[in-house]
């Protein structure tokens, strides 16, 4: 008999509330919302301090989640969801914004440190491991060397809004690829710099 498809928890990081909805720091939420639409999942269930939706991506069962604890305390919600569905960190895909990467770039990784991202730091602290897949979505403005809290919590600029649809679709394709083919193959396809950028990470 063929193996049962692996069940995945896909958690997007962000802050709840309309004032944060279209900010760079909420790209994790926006990506999970788009993934839900693409795969016919409704994210409406309140559980483990998150809004969740159950469904499938391809043949694989998924729990799509948006922790409602605010970014810096996301870890407890992710930990409790994994426990609730009897999953381990190996079943987690974490999607979040990354200030170290240029806007419109993407990095997939099978594991790694928080790189200073407080939401990821919270997840690592709560799970006690860095061994989980992540999709990092670049938010740094063009030509800026670094950003700050004011920038990540400010509304997306008009130029970014024009590119947001295509970016979210690419993020979703990357998550769907991890679920279908694993992280290593997906990294080769989706790890990319921003259009026209010569910078390496």
List the pLDDT tens digit at each of the 201 positions of the chain: 567 889 999 999 999 999 999 999 999 999 999 999 999 999 999 999 999 999 999 999 999 999 999 999 999 999 999 999 999 999 999 999 998 898 989 999 999 999 889 999 999 999 999 999 999 999 987 655 555 657 788 899 999 999 999 999 999 999 999 999 999 999 999 996 544 444 433
Backbone angles phi, psi at 53, to 5 degrees: -145, 140
User: Is-above-0.85 flag for pTM?
Assistant: yes
User: Which 8-state DSSP code applies to residue 194?
Assistant: P
165: left (phi over 0), alpha (psi -120 to 50) or beta: alpha
- Separation of alpha carbons 79 and 124, rounded Å: 9
- What integer pLDDT is reported at residue 197 of this predicted model? 43
Q: What is the length of the chain?
A: 201
- What integer pLDDT is reported at residue 121 of this predicted model? 97
- What integer pLDDT is reported at residue 100 of this predicted model? 87
For residue 193, give the nearest of 147, 140, 145 by alpha carbon: 140
- What integer pLDDT is reported at residue 193 of this predicted model? 55
For residue 101, give the nearest of 56, 152, 67, 53 by alpha carbon: 152
Residues involved in catalysis: 25
For residue 22, give the nearest of 190, 165, 171 by alpha carbon: 165
Token pair listed for 105: 């770039």
Fold of 8-190: Rossmann fold (3.40.50)
CB 120: neighbour CB atoms within 10 A?
A: 24
Strand extents, DSSP E, the chain: 8-12, 45-47, 50-57, 60-67, 92-102, 106-109, 133-140
- What integer pLDDT is reported at residue 143 of this predicted model? 57
């Amino acid at each position: 008999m063929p193996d049962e498809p692996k069940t995945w928890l896909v958690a997007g990081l962000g802050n709840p509330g309309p004032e944060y909805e279209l900010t760079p720091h909420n790209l994790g939420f926006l990506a999970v919302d788009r993934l839900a639409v693409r795969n016919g999942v409704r994210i409406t269930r309140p559980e483990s301090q998150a809004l969740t939706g159950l469904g499938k991506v391809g043949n694989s069962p998924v729990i799509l989640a948006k922790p409602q604890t605010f970014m810096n305390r996301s870890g407890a919600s992710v930990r409790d969801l994994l426990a609730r569905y009897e999953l381990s960190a190996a079943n987690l895909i974490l999607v979040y914004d990354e200030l170290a990467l240029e806007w419109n770039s993407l990095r997939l990784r099978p594991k790694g440190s928080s790189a200073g991202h407080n939401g990821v730091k919270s997840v690592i602290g709560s799970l006690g491991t860095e061994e989980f897949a992540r999709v990092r979505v670049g938010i740094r403005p063009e030509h800026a060397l670094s950003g700050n809290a004011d920038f990540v919590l400010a509304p997306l600029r008009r130029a970014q809004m024009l590119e947001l649809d295509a970016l979210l679709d690419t993020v979703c394709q990357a998550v769907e690829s991890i679920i279908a083919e694993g992280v290593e193959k997906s990294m080769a396809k989706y790890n990319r710099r921003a259009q026209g950028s010569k910078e390496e990470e």
